[in-house]
């Protein structure tokens, strides 16, 4: 049984025709890392549509796992206060929890973060400290009921 589960989003490389976001309004944690800020923790990003222009989003950035720059979308583990993950549709749509402990960032936020394409990484650790991971090169959610598309697996779980 796994006692620690983390899910991370990573951006696809920026295409030549994409605008580079200013350092003060990064789109995700990979842009924060690219700007030289390499400390894991809570950071502010400005995701693309459907967010209104300039609407900030607080996220947890992992700057250590697999070269860093990962936007953490879920974390579960052994924390002093256990988060209740038995939520309704609205709870999972909007997100819940504490970004420094257990949380779900929210389906609407994940959809906005992955409009240009994402990869997703799952890290697991059991009670004995044995770790495993799964990395998918292509990940997205649709705007209609957040239908999941995922492909391109590598990993050891």
Domain-embedded: residue 18: no
Q: What range defines the domain where residue 97 resides?
A: 2-9+23-155
Domain-embedded: residue 142: yes
Domain-embedded: residue 14: no
Kindly state the helix (H) or strand (E) to which residue 80 belongs, with its residue range.
none
* Residue 25 contacts residue 136 (beta carbons within 8 Å): no
Domain-embedded: residue 140: yes
CA quadruple 109, 126, 81, 42: dihedral sign: negative
Phi (first) and psi of residue 71, to 5 degrees: -90, 115
* Total domain count, the chain: 1
Domain-embedded: residue 37: yes
The predicted structure's pLDDT at residue 144: 79
Predicted confidence (pLDDT) per residue in 23-49, tens digit: 578 888 998 999 999 999 999 998 766
Provide the CA 141 distance to its chain's centre, in angstroms.
13
CATH of the domain at 126: 3.90.215.10
Is there a cis peptide before residue 95, judged by omega within 30 degrees of 0? no
- As given in the structure block, the two tokens for residue 15 are 């295409």
Domain-embedded: residue 111: yes
Is there a cis peptide before residue 50, judged by omega within 30 degrees of 0? yes
Domain-embedded: residue 73: yes
Q: How confident is the model at residue 135 (pLDDT cuts 50, 70, 90)?
A: very high
DSSP 143: T
Domain-embedded: residue 15: no
Predicted confidence (pLDDT) per residue in 75-129, tens digit: 998 888 899 999 999 999 999 999 999 999 999 999 888 887 889 999 998 888 8
């Amino acid at each position: 049984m796994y006692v620690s589960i983390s899910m991370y989003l990573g951006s696809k490389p920026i295409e030549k025709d994409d605008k580079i976001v200013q350092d003060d309004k990064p789109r995700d944690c990979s842009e924060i890392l690219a700007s030289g800020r390499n400390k894991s923790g809570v950071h502010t990003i400005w995701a693309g549509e459907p967010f209104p222009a300039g609407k900030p989003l607080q996220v947890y950035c992992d700057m250590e796992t697999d070269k860093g720059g990962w936007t953490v979308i879920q974390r579960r583990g052994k924390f002093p206060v256990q988060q209740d993950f038995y939520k309704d549709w609205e709870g999972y749509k909007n997100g819940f929890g504490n970004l420094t402990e257990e949380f779900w960032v929210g389906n609407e936020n994940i959809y906005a973060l992955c409009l240009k394409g994402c990869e997703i990484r799952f890290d697991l650790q059991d009670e004995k400290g044995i770790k495993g991971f799964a990395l998918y090169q292509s990940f997205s959610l649709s705007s209609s009921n957040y239908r999941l598309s995922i492909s391109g697996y590598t990993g050891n779980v």
